Amino acid sequence: MPRLNRFQVLQHVKPLIIKCLKNESKNIFSFSDLTDILQKNREAWTLPKKTSSKEFIDFLVARKILNEVKIELPNSTLIKYCYGEPSIYDIALSINKNSYLSHYTAVFLHGLTENIPKTIYTNTEQSRKFFGPKLDLSQENIDKAFARPMRETNQVARSGNYNIYLLNGKNVDRIGVEEIEVNGAKYPVTGIERTLIDITVRPNYSGGVEEVLGAYIAAKGKFSVNRMVSILKKMDYIYPYHQAIGFYLERAGYGEKVLKLLEKIEIKNNFYLTYQIKNKDYSERWKLFFPKGL
């Protein structure tokens, strides 16, 4: 009997390869991931040493064991290989290691909006930095910062019909991030408390202040304000976002007991609900400018 060539050997051990891919903890692989799988199993699968990573991957794609997915990045194209039918969340989270779903995506996954967004938000925390003592924030600096447009990332990927925002937030040790199940799969997502904080800080990543207020209304009875305040304090923002959170809670109809949790934090300067407000109204209680009519 003639000796099998490396392509025939691959066909012969195809069931073992499929079993291996099924047992992996993820269903989207990079070229590097598949190279590691090949190296770890080459001997057990009796594959010739000449079998390259490219040949291995080409075989899997040709036999439709894996599907090739292209992700368009701002300056390059990323190729991923999918086993089964990955969701857009699988694809988005595969772009950056240790990322999690956040902002409007988290709002949607927690059922806090009736909209079905075509934009996915992921967050990858920066490496830990030491900034020294917190500077005293002047009213002049607050006014200048919020007179400008909100700073938005230019790191936006594209996959299918979806835009994927690749946010790079401050390091907060993934506080408030939890796993939730979506259609039988588990994903790292900011919990409701952390999500409400994030969309207060960056309302443009959640459809604007009207959508943020809608999320606060929809979240009523589903989260702990005490826990939210605790997370906010640990995130240690320079700006007094507790004033904006208090305003949203009040407008959403939360009780006085809840509102006083936010009032316990010092309210010193005037603050803004969002950036570049053209027609302003003002809340005396929260010392907060907000869009007229909200």
CATH of the domain at 63: 1.10.10
In a domain, residue 114? The reply is yes
Residue 162 sits in the same domain as residue 247 = yes
pLDDT tens for the chain, 294 residues long, are 345 567 788 898 999 999 999 999 889 999 999 999 999 999 999 888 888 999 999 999 999 999 999 999 999 999 999 998 889 999 999 999 999 999 999 999 999 999 999 999 999 999 877 655 666 789 999 999 999 999 999 999 999 999 999 999 999 999 999 999 998 899 999 999 999 999 999 999 999 999 999 999 999 999 999 999 999 999 999 999 999 999 999 999 999 999 999 999 999 999 999 999 999 999 999 999 999 999
Neighbouring CB atoms inside 10 A of 219's CB total 23
In a domain, residue 131? The reply is yes
In a domain, residue 133? The reply is yes
What is residue 127's predicted lDDT score, i.e. its pLDDT?
86
Collapsed DSSP state (helix, strand, coil) of residue 118: coil
Domain with 157, as residue range(s), is: 88-291
- 156-159 and 119-123 beta bridge pairing: unpaired
Residue 48 sits in the same domain as residue 127 = no
Residue 117 sits in the same domain as residue 16 = no
In a domain, residue 154? The reply is yes
Residue 97 sits in the same domain as residue 61 = no
In a domain, residue 39? The reply is yes
Query: Where does a domain end: 82, 109, 141?
Result: 82
Query: Where does a domain end: 63, 82, 101?
Result: 82
pTM of the model: 0.92
What distance in Å separates the CA atoms of residue 129 and residue 156, rounded to the nearest whole number?
A: 25
Residue 261 sits in the same domain as residue 146 = yes
In a domain, residue 160? The reply is yes
What is residue 99's predicted lDDT score, i.e. its pLDDT?
97
What is residue 41's predicted lDDT score, i.e. its pLDDT?
95
Identify residue 171 by its one-letter amino acid code.
N
Residue 74 sits in the same domain as residue 115 = no
Residue 204 sits in the same domain as residue 106 = yes
Residue 27 sits in the same domain as residue 120 = no
What is residue 48's predicted lDDT score, i.e. its pLDDT?
86
- HSE-CB for 2 with a 13 A CA cutoff: 4
In a domain, residue 77? The reply is yes
Residue 64 sits in the same domain as residue 92 = no
In a domain, residue 1? The reply is no
What is residue 38's predicted lDDT score, i.e. its pLDDT?
95
Query: Where does a domain end: 82, 106, 122?
Result: 82
What is residue 5's predicted lDDT score, i.e. its pLDDT?
66
Structure tokens given for 113: 């909006």
Cα 292 to Cα 157, 210, 243, 279, 281: the distances in Å are 34, 12, 17, 6, 5
What is residue 135's predicted lDDT score, i.e. its pLDDT?
65
Residue 42 sits in the same domain as residue 138 = no
Q: Which long-range contacts (CB under 8 A, 24 or more apart) does 52-61 make?
A: 55/6, 55/7, 55/10, 56/10, 57/31, 57/81, 59/7, 59/10, 59/11, 60/17, 60/34
Identify residue 196 by its one-letter amino acid code.
L
The count of structural domains within the chain is 2
Structure tokens given for 72: 């368009």
- HSE-CB for 172 with a 13 A CA cutoff: 23
Residue 57 sits in the same domain as residue 127 = no
Residue 141 sits in the same domain as residue 198 = yes
What distance in Å separates the CA atoms of residue 218 and residue 241, rounded to the nearest whole number?
A: 20
Residue by residue, DSSP assigns 230-283 as: HHHHHHT-SS-HHHHHHHHHHHTT--HHHHHHHHTS---S-EESSSS-SSEEEE
What is residue 131's predicted lDDT score, i.e. its pLDDT?
55
